[in-house]
């Protein structure tokens, strides 16, 4: 995986870490990545000369360079005696390669601290970079971006959003009943989110009406919003692709539809449905309901996906209860994710218990409807892509939400980063996530291994 060359944004005032090789050239692409044409025309004044193992005396003989030192790898560092332009660097490297015994000459590239991406709202994404409650994504971005990995988001579908559209592949609407889907038909190839709003008295006698959540779009943005595009937010795996699968509509969604979506997402065959042209290596399910046991239908669908090599990530639930009573988080072969707040403590709503695998930032927003005197804290939620419509779609927007629904896509995004670097089975993915967590400040009831750490995880799986 090629490294991400990103431009510094001093105005954000962020602490950044990690090192990334940066070609010493003037200018560059607007998104901070070095143009392909420039990669072979680097301006360098220091070079590493590698000799064949059979060469005993490793000495560079050239009037225009000065020997600096030998490396632990056996290479020799030399420095040009004068300033060079791009053509001069290439010419000198060619001359050095012609010396007897030399097998390789490379520019000794400068390095600099990995800068934050230039997305305009990145400074509000504490969940990615803050040292206490964040998941240390910047360290992972030194090498990983999720390119080549497809993530299926099984949710309410998707709405058009300029900060997300470029990473969205064709999906599917698995809602069987028009009364739930609101699109006038049953299953079809259009995963457009038609809104999940309802009136008071509907959906099991709900006492109050509810506006459309555009939930699937929020989840998808956390995973793979366009990153380093000078706009909006940064997705955790900004080069990954999203396959949106619509299973939740008015009043929710049926297990039967969700199970079919799981199988289809992983490349399985679903009767009377065309095959998925973009099988996913990761499935995110920020959904669930109360049930003392995992249904056999859920478990069979999940097993099918895992057998196909797909990692299934599931939100633990928001009832402040033992996750053992909530499905599909209580199923086997899933990565069950609890939620933490900005202070790295279990969020007040998050489910907990022995079946939790890991925890990720889910936020904790206090509302005006909380006890009198409570200060609203939208800044402590998870910021992602959304829509302003209260029933049908309006304008694109960004908004903070909280929930284990927000925690799960953090893990799904990290899994996409992992699989973009190393081929791994779902069991290996889960083991690596667990092994590279860091402790939470507090987690009554149990939050699995701890808070996921993207930098530590990527470093561990890519280590020699």
Full-model pTM: 0.79
Q: How far apart are CA 33 and CA 241, in angstroms?
A: 19
Which residues are part of the catalytic machinery? 155, 215, 405
Given this model, what pLDDT does residue 215 score? Answer: 97
Q: Tell me the backbone φ, ψ of residue 160, rounded to 5 degrees.
A: -65, 135
Mean pLDDT of the chain: 87
pLDDT above 70: residue 127: yes
Q: How far apart are CA 313 and CA 77, in angstroms?
A: 47
- Which of these, 413, 424, 432, lies nearest to 309 by C-alpha position? 424
Lowest-confidence region among 35-44, 110-119, 304-313? 35-44
- The larger pLDDT score, comparing residue 460 to residue 37, is at 460
What value does the mean pLDDT take over residues 377-390? 96
Given this model, what pLDDT does residue 71 score? Answer: 72
pLDDT above 50: residue 8: no
Burial class (CB in 10 A: 0-12, 13-18, 19+), 354: exposed
Band (pLDDT 50/70/90 cuts) for residue 113 is: very low
Q: How far apart are CA 364 and CA 361, in angstroms?
A: 9
Please list the alpha-helical segments (H only) found in 348-446.
404-419, 426-435
pLDDT above 80: residue 161: yes
Let me know: does 395 contact 162? Beta carbons within 8 Å.
no
- The larger pLDDT score, comparing residue 451 to residue 45, is at 451
Q: Tell me the backbone φ, ψ of residue 311, rounded to 5 degrees.
A: -85, 130
pLDDT above 70: residue 166: yes
Give the chain's radius of gyration (CA, Å). 25
Band (pLDDT 50/70/90 cuts) for residue 5 is: very low
**SS3 per-residue string spanning 269-313:** CCCCCCCCCCCCCEEEECCCEECCCCCHHHHHHHHHHHHCCCEEE
Given this model, what pLDDT does residue 72 score? Answer: 67
Region for residue 32 given its phi and psi (left: phi exceeds 0; alpha: psi -120 to 50; beta: otherwise): left
Under DSSP, the state recorded for 192 is: B
pLDDT above 50: residue 190: yes
CA atoms within 13 A of residue 89's CA, in its CB half-sphere: 23
Partners of 326 in the beta sheet?
290
Let me know: does 133 contact 342? Beta carbons within 8 Å.
yes
- From residue 283, give the alpha-carbon distance in Å to each of 263, 272, 286, 315, 447: 10, 22, 10, 11, 21
Tell me the domains of the chain and their CATH numbers: 46-107 (no CATH), 122-462 (3.40.50.200)
Partners of 282 in the beta sheet?
151, 311
Chain segment 192-213, per-residue pLDDT in tens: 999 999 999 999 888 999 999 9
User: 3-state DSSP call for residue 62?
Assistant: coil
Q: What would the two tokens of residue 419 be?
A: 């699989």
Angle ∠(27,237,437) on CA atoms, nearest 5 = 120
Band (pLDDT 50/70/90 cuts) for residue 408 is: very high
Chain segment 261-273, per-residue pLDDT in tens: 999 999 999 999 9
Under DSSP, the state recorded for 445 is: T
Given this model, what pLDDT does residue 19 score? Answer: 24
Q: Which residues of 39-64 are buried (b: 16+ CB within 10 A; e: fewer)?
A: eeebbbbbbbbbbeeeeeebebebee
Band (pLDDT 50/70/90 cuts) for residue 17 is: very low
Band (pLDDT 50/70/90 cuts) for residue 373 is: low
Q: How far apart are CA 330 and CA 108, in angstroms?
A: 52
């Amino acid at each position: 995986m090629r490294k991400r060359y990103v431009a510094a944004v001093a105005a954000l005032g962020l602490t950044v870490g990690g090192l990334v090789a940066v070609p010493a050239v003037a200018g560059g692409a607007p998104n901070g990545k070095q143009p392909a044409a420039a990669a072979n025309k680097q301006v360098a004044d220091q070079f590493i000369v590698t000799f064949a193992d059979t060469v005993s005396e490793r000495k560079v003989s050239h009037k225009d360079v000065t020997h600096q030192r030998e490396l632990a790898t056996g290479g020799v560092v030399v420095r040009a005696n004068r300033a060079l332009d791009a053509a001069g660097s290439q010419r000198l490297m060619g001359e050095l390669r012609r010396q007897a015994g030399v097998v390789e000459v490379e520019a000794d590239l400068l390095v600099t601290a990995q800068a934050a991406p230039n997305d305009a709202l990145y400074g509000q994404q504490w969940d990615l970079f803050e040292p206490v409650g964040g998941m240390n994504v910047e360290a992972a971005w030194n090498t990983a971006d999720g390119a080549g990995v497809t993530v299926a988001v099984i949710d309410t579908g998707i709405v058009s959003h300029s900060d997300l559209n470029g990473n969205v592949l064709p999906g599917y609407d698995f809602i069987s009943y028009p009364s739930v889907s609101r699109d006038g038909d049953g299953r079809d190839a259009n995963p457009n989110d038609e809104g999940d709003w309802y009136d008071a008295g509907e959906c099991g006698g709900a006492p109050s009406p509810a506006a459309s959540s555009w939930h699937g779009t929020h989840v998808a943005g956390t995973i793979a919003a366009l990153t380093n595009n000078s706009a909006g937010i940064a997705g955790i795996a900004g080069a990954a692709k999203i396959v949106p699968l619509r299973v939740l509509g008015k009043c929710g969604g049926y297990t039967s539809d969700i199970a079919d979506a799981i199988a289809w997402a992983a490349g399985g065959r679903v009767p009377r449905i065309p095959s998925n042209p973009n099988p996913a290596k990761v499935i995110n399910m920020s959904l669930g309901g109360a049930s003392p046991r995992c249904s056999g239908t859920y478990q069979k669908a999940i097993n099918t996906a895992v057998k196909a090599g797909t990692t299934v990530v599931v939100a633990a639930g928001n009832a402040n209860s033992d996750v053992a009573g909530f499905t599909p988080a209580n199923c086997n072969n899933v990565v069950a994710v609890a939620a933490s707040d900005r202070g790295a403590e279990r969020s007040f709503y998050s489910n907990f218990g022995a079946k939790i695998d890991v925890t990720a930032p889910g936020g904790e927003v206090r509302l005006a409807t909380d006890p009198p005197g409570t200060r609203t804290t939208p800044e402590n939620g998870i910021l992602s892509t959304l829509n302003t419509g209260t029933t049908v779609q309006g304008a694109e927007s960004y908004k903070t939400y909280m929930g284990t629904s927000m925690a799960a896509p953090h893990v799904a995004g990290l899994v996409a980063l992992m699989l973009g670097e190393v081929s791994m089975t779902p069991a290996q993915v889960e083991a690596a996530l667990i092994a590279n967590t860091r402790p939470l400040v507090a987690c009554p009831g149990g939050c699995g291994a701890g808070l996921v750490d993207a930098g530590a995880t990527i470093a561990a799986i890519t280590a020699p």
